[in-house]
A and B are shown apart, each in its own frame.
Chain A
Amino acid sequence: MATPLHVPKPIAATDNSPRGPVQLQACLPRPITFVMAGGGAHGAVQWGLLQALAETDVAADALIGTSAGSLTSAIVGEDPLSALSRLSYVWSQLDLDVLVGDSWVSILSSATKRRRSLADNTTERETLEAILVARSFADLQLPTAAVATDLATGKAKAFDSGDLITALLASSAIPGMLPPVTINGREYIDGLASANLPARLAVERGAGTVIVLDTGSREPVPMSKTPTKVVARVNGILNARQRSAALAFASSRVPTIVLPTPQNLGAALDFRGTMSAASSAYELARTFLSDFAGQYGPKAARADHDLERGLYARRTPYDLDPDLRLQLHSVDAGDHS
């Protein structure tokens, strides 16, 4: 017997909320900034989160993204109305091949040579130019920023004007793998080295509400002493630390809403799982947003004014640093049976 299809029911049919989008926007201080983290192929998670957000009345006033998140930000910023449809085309085609192309093949022969990166970014540039019509930040409909890292100083830099494609290349220049990108005479690499989750920058740039679209994480692997496993784990630890610090900063100043993300993904450069990553992100986020609206939204009894600052998330959103003093407003799971 065939397995029945799994299709999420419309939110309005599963709870007692009236028809129409989930009401949220009225309680969120403006401008509302969508903050999109990096994560390679895990970036597909953000497509699913955006699908869930589309079932609410929340729209982005501004966007800021790092690496894969900078591309998604640019796609939404270019035309919010068609973004979801265009993202479905993007994620059904994106793989390592359209990012590094043939240049990847030469890795083994060139790894030992003194070169700036293992692959080049010619193919990635062509891919970005095929995805976007905009060539400059000025061509985008919404204020959008792409975050890269100054290679010499290690400082995060948010690009929001000038050449869009070059800024996106800089933001996603995975260190070692893709070449650093020169902008205005300075060298930049992937924003992951300074602000993989650019929530702090979002607040510094004036966000009234931060909505965090993270990219989920890999299934935990058993720890061992193998150097590659240790390095991968160190990378994960550093990422989590940066995220904790960014969330602590943002939530101490503005309401910071962290959408839930899948925690059982494959490798960050494995593009085979993008569809399932997106659909599980969609399902997690839509129930979260419905619960959030019920607890904190404009129709909730306690919300007769703007949402107060703090972190709005599931009770244990992440492996957050215990030293951080976070103002956590827990979003509890309602009944969605």
Chain B
Amino acid sequence: MTQIRFPRPLAFVFSGGLARSASQIGMCEVANELGIIPDLVVGSSTGAINAAVFAKDPERFGTEARLLWEGVAQDKALSSIWRSTLRGLAGSGSTRTQTMLRKHLHHVFHDMEHGDLSIEFLAVATDLSTGHSAPVRNLNIVDSLIASAAFPVVMAPTPDGGDLLIDGSVVAGVPVGQALAAGAKSIIVFDTGASGVGDDEVISLGWYEVLALAFTHLIRGQADHDLALAAMSVPVVVISQTTGSPFSLRRAVDGIDEGRRLASEVLLEFAPHHGKEYRKIGKPGLYGNYSLEPT
């Protein structure tokens, strides 16, 4: 099979999306099977976790990532996001969620540093004082992931030098800008961070869900802006999955097959197979199954 040619360096970008990010496992596997290997991987929040597992060993990615997500799903203390939120609101409990997530991450990464990974890896966090995105460079892999995934209230901010770091998806829900800054000349986005609910669902939301949805809308609006900006300078292929609940960690791995299906749909369009016509990726622009509607 001829490899799909991307302008190099090629970055894989993993969005946030809580439980829905598990689908990135399927998306990434398909890319791998098509022989698409990135030069760097960038992730925010739960996406950073997948990105790091990939960067550790792309060959074993599918197996290791599934084990990690299944472990989290079976951990009763971690799998209820609402319970974690209540713990966070109670203040003292917020380190407990961290401790438990750390345990699962430690099984995969032990005390690995950034230099121990086989592919260049960037975890994106939000610097609470400047309000700008911050690549986490000084911490080991586990601590970098904890910082990048520190969802406000659910987990406490991570100190890094004099700064406090929280969830990267606050300022970089889809960290394409950070991939560009790291030198990427083409980008494939595994996008599980869409915000929105069905028209039938919207009327039954409680006040706190309305509040949470307002936050995710605001985050997504900025991610759309970042995508538009990145697509002006390099080709950006987006594989976007909008189904599956962000909040149901217990059933997170169910979304992997859908991730596979969507990735095949998007990526095969560019693959020179069966002697069919295929699209070339060269010019800057937005490719894939996500479109940016004008507001």
Contact = CB atoms under 8 A, between A and B. Distances in A.
Given A230-B153, A241-B171, A180 B210 contact: yes
Contacts of B220: 154
Contacts of A233: 128, 131
B129 A117 contact: no
B164 A225 contact: yes
B1 interface: no
A190 B210 CA distance: 11
A321 to B, nearest CB: 7
B152 interface: yes
B166 interface: yes
B211 to A, nearest CB: 3
A261 B177 CA distance: 29
Interface string B131-162: 11000000000000000000011001100000
A230 B293 CA distance: 31
Given A234-B166, A236-B131, A116 B218 contact: no
Contacts of B208: 176
Interface in A283-337: 319, 321-323
A189 B210 contact: yes
Contact of A321 (B129, B132, B216): B132
Contacts of A230: 128, 152-153, 157, 166
Nearest to A198: B295
Interface residues of B, number: 48
B207 A151 contact: no
A152 interface: yes
Given A175-B210, A236-B131, A241-B222, A152 B216 contact: no
Contacts of B196: 152-154
B277 interface: no
A149 B214 contact: yes
Given A154-B195, A227-B94, A238-B222, A187 B170 contact: no
Contact of A154 (B130, B203, B216, B225): B216
A134 B215 CA distance: 33
Contact of A231 (B152, B225, B295): B152
A175 B211 contact: yes
A323 B175 CA distance: 12
B217 interface: yes
A245 interface: yes
Interface string A148-165: 010111111000000000
Contacts, number: 127
Nearest to A227: B153
A240 B133 CA distance: 13
B295 A238 contact: no
A107 to B, nearest CB: 10
Interface string A48-72: 0000000000000000000000000
A69 B47 CA distance: 37
Given A117-B210, A238-B215, A240-B131, A156 B295 contact: yes
Contacts of B214: 149, 175-176, 189-190, 192-193
B259 interface: no
B202 to A, nearest CB: 4
B16 interface: no
Nearest to B88: A227
A225 B156 contact: yes
B164 to A, nearest CB: 6
A114 B206 contact: yes
A230 B221 CA distance: 21
Contact of A245 (B206, B210, B211, B225): B225
A116 B225 CA distance: 30
A194 interface: yes
B89 interface: yes
A226 B195 CA distance: 26
A195 interface: yes
Contacts of B215: 193, 234-235, 238
In this complex, the member of B129, B201, B205, B225 whose beta carbon has the largest number of chain A beta carbons within 10 angstroms is: B225
Interface string A227-260: 1001101111111111001000000000000000
22 contacts: A116-B207, A149-B214, A151-B197, A175-B210, A175-B211, A176-B210, A180-B210, A193-B217, A225-B157, A225-B164, A227-B88, A227-B89, A230-B128, A237-B126, A237-B128, A238-B170, A238-B219, A238-B222, A239-B218, A240-B131, A241-B171, A319-B130
- 8 closest cross-chain pairs (CB), A and B: A154-B217, A176-B211, A175-B214, A237-B131, A193-B214, A152-B202, A245-B225, A193-B217
Given A193-B213, A194-B295, A239-B218, 17 more contacts: A149-B217, A151-B197, A151-B205, A154-B220, A176-B207, A176-B214, A177-B207, A190-B214, A192-B214, A192-B218, A193-B217, A201-B295, A226-B91, A227-B153, A234-B170, A237-B128, A241-B222
